[in-house]
Amino acid sequence: MNRLDLSGGGEARLRYLDADFEVLRAGNFVRCAVTGEAIPLRSLRYWSVDRQEAYVDAAAANKARDESLAKGEGF
């Protein structure tokens, strides 16, 4: 499936890879793991491969990292 197949219209399901992502279920957006904000796939730039989470921006990614490290989980 094309990585930017937006034909689903709803929330997409992705597998996050090192420099890309794979669309598992077509959709227009994913949700930020920190804020819950919808992130259009065309705007998705931040995610964690290990945690398989998307982030709306660098600040959200840093917050997720900091919280994870504070819990002793690693990131």
Render pLDDT for 4-63 as a digit per residue (tens, 0 to 9). Answer: 555 568 999 999 999 999 999 999 999 999 999 999 999 999 999 999 999 999 999 999
**How many domains, the chain?**
1
Quote the pLDDT of residue 72.
84
C-beta separation of 58 from 50 below 8 A: no
C-beta separation of 63 from 71 below 8 A: no
Cα separation, 20 vs 36, in Å, equals 21
- Which range of residues forms the domain containing residue 56? 13-70
Whole-model pTM: value is 0.84
- Would residue 35 count as lying in a domain? yes
- Would residue 29 count as lying in a domain? yes
Confidence grade of residue 71 (pLDDT, cut at 50, 70, 90): confident
- Would residue 44 count as lying in a domain? yes
The half-sphere exposure of 61 on its side-chain side, counting CA atoms within 13 A, is: 14
- Would residue 3 count as lying in a domain? no
Helix (H, G, I), strand (E, B) or coil at 65: helix
Cα separations (Å) of 45 from 9, 31, 42, 73? Answer: 20, 13, 9, 23
